[in-house]
Amino acid sequence: MTTLERPQPLRSMAEKAARIDQICAQARILPVITIAREQDILPLADALAAGGIRTLEVTLRSEHGLKAIRVLREQRPELCIGAGTVLDPAMFAAVEAAGAQFVVTPGITAEVLEAGVRSDIPLLPGISTPSEIMAGYALGYRRFKLFPAEVVGGVAAIKAYGGPFGDIRFCPTGGVNPANARSYMALPNVMCVGGTWMLDSSWVKSGDWARIEACSAEAMALLG
């Protein structure tokens, strides 16, 4: 076994959808993580994991994102590490090289969708309209992130999408919080939710790992 164990190649879009289902079923909550300081990488991941959150979406919103993915894949192999805020094929290739086990985008372009089709790891593309769902659908995508969920209709929108898009499932992200998370998870076409409420930036900045662990445990208990 090498230091960095690569994800098993997934050739078909059906295989990739099944892998996304597996990841989301295990996660229930995808914490959307932006690393502001390199020294926070391991203690933050450890606090989330101690609270029961072991599938992490590490965004490329900071200069430390790629390194965080590499460090976590190498030093915390028991966790499932994905890459978020991937905006173009170059970023997609970079997170693949860093060892990301799945990729999440805030929106779609034809180039990013095609990169996901070619990749051996699954892509969860971000959408906010029916037309974007259809663009992904045409290439074989059946699993999407709805973003920003609360802004674009939230629970009501996902219910409505269940009619014309009966085989589509979603991970709503953006405005999801303890007050509405259970309403999302109660929908049959929701796989998991994404959020940040369990890792408030002020807690990370002050190194309040115990609070992050406790909030993570509460979040997992909330969604059963």
Selecting among 5, 16, 38, 57, the annotated active-site residue is: 57
Selecting among 96, 145, 150, 213, the annotated active-site residue is: 145
Q: Give yes or no for a contact between 175 and 154, defined as CB atoms under 8 angstroms apart.
A: yes
CA dist 169 → 8, 21, 26, 165, 188 (Å): 23, 9, 15, 9, 8
DSSP letters for 83-101:
EE---SHHHHHHHHHHT-S
User: Buried b / exposed e across 41-53, counting CB within 10 Å, b at 16+?
Assistant: beebbebbbbbeb
CA dist 221 → 21, 25, 29, 67, 214 (Å): 20, 15, 11, 31, 11
Nearest Cα residue to 85 out of 110, 65, 64, 113: 65
Q: Is 159 a catalytic residue?
A: no
Q: How far apart are CA 73 and CA 101, in angstroms?
A: 9
Q: Is 57 a catalytic residue?
A: yes
Rg (CA), the chain: 16
Annotated active-site positions, please?
A: 57, 145
